[in-house]
Amino acid sequence: METNTAILLSMLIPAGATLSNIVLHNRANLRDTVTLIAAIATFLAVLTILINEGNGTTAPLVLFEVLPGLDLAFSVEPLGLLFAIVASGLWIVTHIYGVGYMRGNKEGHHARFFACFSFAIASVMGIAFASNMFTLFLFYEALTLSTYPLVAHKGTPEAIRGARTYLGILIGTSIGLQLVAIVWTWTLTGTLDFTKGGILEGHIAGPMVAVLLGLYAFGIGKAALMPFHRWLPAAMVAPTPVSALLHAVAVVKAGVFTMLKVGIYIFGIDFLAETGASEWLMWLAAFSVIAASVVALTKDNLKARLAYSTISQLSYITLGMALATSMGVLGGGLHIAMHAMGKITLFMCAGSIYVATHKTDISQMTGLGRIMPITFGAFLIGALSIIGLPPLGGSWSKWLLIVGAADTGQWVMIGVLMVSSLLNVAYLMPVVARGFFLGDTAGAEIKESPTLVWLPPALTAVGCVALFFYAGDIQAFLAPIVER
C-alpha cells in the first residue's frame, strides 16, 4: 500500500467507525465488533507507513489549498509516526477495555460514546501526520470538540461543569493565544510548514522570540502547562476509558506533541538555544513538574491524583523541549511513548477498581490488592515505570532528560527530575502498599473485575516492561528529528 493512501486510511477508518457507531446504534455487539476491527485496521495502516518509510520523512500530501499558500497537507516524520503508533495501538486495547467497562458499569449512550471516541482518534491521526501548523491546528480543535461529549458523558451537573471547564480552557487558550501565535508566525515567514531546523530564524529576534514561544506554550493548552492545567482534573469526571486513552494518551500527548513540533520544526532547537528564548519555559516547566506532584500528594481521589501526576509528567516533555538540546528533545519524544504506556495502565487499573468495587478514594482501597491481584499488580508495574525505575520503560526517558540537562549545564534541572521521582514514589506507592499490605480483606462479595476490564491493563503493564528493552530502538528511530 502507498504511504499516502495509508495516511488517509489512518484518518478515514476511525472517521468511518464514527459513522458505523451512529448507524448501528442499537446493535451493540455488531457495533463494538466493527469498531474493534476499525481500531485494528487503523493500527495496521500506521504499521504500513512504518514499514514503508521507516524513520524517513515524506513529501507533503496536499489535499487542497485552503488559503493561498496554506495547505491542508499531511506527511510522515519520525515523531509523528511514533505518536500515531502509540495512539492507534493503544486504541485497540482501550476499545476492548471500554466495551468491558461501559457494559460492566452499566453506563448509557454507548453508541454516542464510541462514535465520539473514534472521531477523536481520527483527529489524533490528523495531528500526528499534519505537515504544517495550520493542518495541525485544525485537527487540534477537532480533537477538543470531539472529546467534549465524552467528558460530559454522564450528563450530571458535575460532568457538565467539568466539561465546561475542559472546553473553556482548551478553546480559550487555543483561539486566544495559539491562533495568534500561528497567524503571527505566518505573517513573519509566509509559511507554516514543519521544516527541519525551524522557519523562524532570521525573521524574528530579541525578546519577541520569547513572547512568541509563550503564546505557543500557553496556547497549547492540551500540554497542561501551569497555570492552564485546570482542565485536566476537571475532565476526570469522564468515564475511565476516556480518561485512560484521551487524557493519558491522545489529548495530553497531542498537546506535548504539538509543543515538540513547534520547538523542533517552527523555532528550531538551535535557534532556541542561541536566543535563550526557552529558558523561562524551562523554569516554568520545572515548577509545573514539582508543583503538580505536590498537589497529587494531597488528592485522595485516585483519578484526581493520577490527573495531577499527568500534569507533572507532561511538563517533563515541555522541559525536554525547553532545554533546547538534542538529548532533551529525544528524551521528551521518548517520554511520549513511555508515559503513555505507564499512565494508561494506571488509569485502566483505577477503572478496574471502580468497576469491581465502585470505590474512587485511595483511603477506601485498603486490602483490595489481595482480592484483585492482577489489577494491583499491573498498577505496581505502571507506577514503577512512571517513577522511572528499571527494568521499566520510564527509566530511559528520564535518563535521557537528565543527560540533556547535564549537556546544557542545567544542574538544577537534574535536581528537579530527581525530586520529582521521589515525589512520584510518595504519591503512587501508598496506593499499592495500602492495597497489598494494609487492613483485612473486607467485604467477601468483592471480586476481581471482568476479564475485559483487567486484561487490557495487564497487557499494557507487560508493554511497560517490553519498552525497557526497546527504548534504544525508539531512540534511534527518533534520532533524525534532531539531526543537523
Partner 1 sequence: METEILHHTRASFQDHLPVLVILVPFLAAPLMVLLGSRRLSWPIAFGASVAAFGIAILLLAKVIDGTEISYHIGGWAPPLGIEYRVDAANAFVLLLVTGIAAIVLPYARESIKTEVPVRHHTLFYALFLLCLTGLLGVVVTGDAFNVFVFLEISSLSTYVLIAQGSYRDKRALTAAYDYLIMGTIGATFFVIGLGLLYMATGTLNMADIAERIADQGGNRTVRAAFAFIVVGVGLKVAIYPLHLWLPNAYTYAPSAVTVFLAATATKVAVYVLLRFMFSIFQPAFLFEVNTLEFIILPFAVLAMFAASFIAIFQNDFKRMLAYSSIAQIGYILLGIGLLSEAGLTAAIVHLFNHGITKAALFMGVGIYVLRSGGSFLDDIQGLGRVMPLTSAAVVIGGLSLIGVPGTAGFISKWVLVQAALEKGWWPVALMIVASSLLAVIYVWRVIETLYTKPPASDVIAGEAPLSMLVPLWIMAIACVWFGLDTDLTIGASQTAAQGLLSGSAGMR
Please report, as ranges, the residues that interact with partner 1 according to CB under 8 A. Answer: 64, 66-68, 72, 134, 137-138, 141-142, 145, 149, 152, 155, 160, 164, 167-168, 171-172, 175-177, 179-180, 183-184, 186-187
d(CA 332, CA 346): 20
Q: What is the dihedral of CA 122, 244, 237, 14, to 10 degrees?
A: 20
* Closest listed residue to residue 339, CA positions, set 377, 393, 297: 393
The residue (of 262 and 269) whose beta carbon lies closer to partner 1 is 262
d(CA 248, CA 226): 17
The residue (of 142 and 374) whose beta carbon lies closer to partner 1 is 142
| Nearest approach, Cβ of residue 187 and partner 1 (Å) | 5
| Nearest approach, Cβ of residue 251 and partner 1 (Å) | 17
Check if the beta carbon of residue 424 is closer than 8 Å to that of residue 417.
no
Label the pairing between strands 70-74 and 61-67. Answer: antiparallel
The residue (of 126 and 367) whose beta carbon lies closer to partner 1 is 126
| Nearest approach, Cβ of residue 100 and partner 1 (Å) | 26
| Nearest approach, Cβ of residue 224 and partner 1 (Å) | 19
Backbone angles phi, psi at 132, to 5 degrees: -145, 165
| Nearest approach, Cβ of residue 102 and partner 1 (Å) | 19
Q: Which residues contact 361 (CB under 8 A, 6 or more apart)?
A: 300, 301, 302
CA atoms within 13 A on the CB side of 481: 36
d(CA 136, CA 115): 22
Alpha helix (H) ranges present in 299-325? 302-322
d(CA 386, CA 367): 23
| Nearest approach, Cβ of residue 351 and partner 1 (Å) | 23
| Nearest approach, Cβ of residue 109 and partner 1 (Å) | 10
The residue (of 146 and 312) whose beta carbon lies closer to partner 1 is 146
Backbone angles phi, psi at 73, to 5 degrees: -140, 150
The residue (of 177 and 464) whose beta carbon lies closer to partner 1 is 177
The residue (of 168 and 197) whose beta carbon lies closer to partner 1 is 168
The residue (of 72 and 471) whose beta carbon lies closer to partner 1 is 72
* Closest listed residue to residue 433, CA positions, set 477, 380, 474: 380
| Nearest approach, Cβ of residue 215 and partner 1 (Å) | 10
Grid cell locating 332: 521528551
| Nearest approach, Cβ of residue 6 and partner 1 (Å) | 22
The residue (of 96 and 152) whose beta carbon lies closer to partner 1 is 152
The residue (of 142 and 419) whose beta carbon lies closer to partner 1 is 142
d(CA 396, CA 387): 11
CA–CA distance from 391 to each of 35, 89, 179, 385, 395 (Å)?
Answer: 34, 22, 42, 8, 7
